Amino acid sequence: MSDAGPAARALATRCLALALLAWLTLGEWRIFDRLLFSPGEDRDFVLGAMQGILEGRPVFEAWQQRLLGPGAVWLLEHAGLSRLLALRLLFALGLFAANVLLYALARARGASLGGAAALVAGFGFAHLLLAYDLEYPWDAIDVLLFMAFGSWAAQRGPLIALVPLLLVGSFNHETILYVPLWLLLAGPGRARVVGAATAVAIGALIYGLREALYVSAPPEAVRQRAEAVLPLLGNPVHIVHNLRQLFMANWLHGRSFISLSFFGAVAVCVWLVRSGRERVAGLWSLCVLAAVACFGYTNETRLYLPLLAFWFAYTASERRALPG
């Protein structure tokens, strides 16, 4: 009988935590559902892009290996849902899974219920600040992958623990190459060799999938102008365009928030590197920001979600217990 009290309190805490996470997720979902899934060109573009990947006719050849998210939507479609409902459900599940994972990481390192809930709420608010006109299903999966990676990095986990992340990520998005980049920057000699070999293996897999599955661009696709592309992987390069956006266009057209956020993040990362507080994490983050500036669009704020997820999980999983 003496154990009944603590056991009951533990059960009540778990139920309260689950209810709180569900409530936070529902609040996020109500906002994102209106932002991302209201009728319009952006929503239709996402739906068409997923179908194009499954048919071997993606909008851009560089998207061809991003099979995991569209495949999950395809499975839900064949379970009886419409494609739009399947996409919305997958997004909602991604929000909830990210909140649960971040909460669990924080609690595992000693945070109170309130402290862990505050961290989850902070992540949701930051996600809203980075809201873009659209999000693809691979974005939600990236958030989960980089939360798991952030926890691994904070705890200096064994290399073998990265294998599931690398396998899943290779079929989701090229951002998985950020993981071996960490090993190249942070590891001892053996880890750096593993990082280099892993990067080559993932690059080869991505290239092989594109070569095997890509048929052609869809006739109705709006093609970009001729651009320089990354050798072998085929991703376009947007450096000049992004510099113009960051230094000129954003300030003239009411998007200064993006430039200020980008430069602010760069400044913080430089400080982390120079101060030695989080040298590797800061340097790695600078590389991620540079990759977005080179191969993505700096104004497409959804591209910062992997970095955001990493830092929240990294903070939640640090060796010292969180306050509260």
DSSP labels for 48-79?
HHHHHHHHT--SSGGGTT--HHHHHHHHHHHT
pLDDT tens for the chain, 324 residues long, are 445 677 787 788 788 888 889 999 999 999 999 999 999 999 999 999 999 999 999 988 889 999 999 999 999 999 999 999 999 999 999 999 999 999 999 999 888 888 899 999 999 999 999 999 999 999 999 999 999 999 999 998 899 999 999 999 999 999 999 999 999 998 778 889 999 999 999 999 999 999 999 988 776 554 444 455 666 666 788 899 999 999 999 999 999 999 999 999 999 999 999 998 899 999 999 999 999 999 999 999 999 999 999 999 999 987 544 443
Q: Is 80 helix (H, G, I), strand (E, B) or coil?
A: coil
Closest CA to 227 of 216, 239, 218: 239
pLDDT (0 to 100) of residue 3: 56
> What's the confidence (pLDDT) of residue 221?
55
Buried b (16+ CB within 10 A) or exposed e, 206-218: beebbeebbeeeb
Name residue, tokens 């430039």.
259
pLDDT at 276: 85
* 164 and 179 Cβ atoms separated by less than 8 Å: no
CB 111 within 8 A of CB 39: no
DSSP symbol at 320: S
pLDDT for 322 equals: 44
Q: Which residue has the tokens 């030695």?
A: 276
Backbone angles phi, psi at 94, to 5 degrees: -65, -40
**Per-residue pLDDT, 68:** 96
Supply angle C-alpha 191, 181, 214, rounded to 5: 120
pLDDT for the residue 258: 96
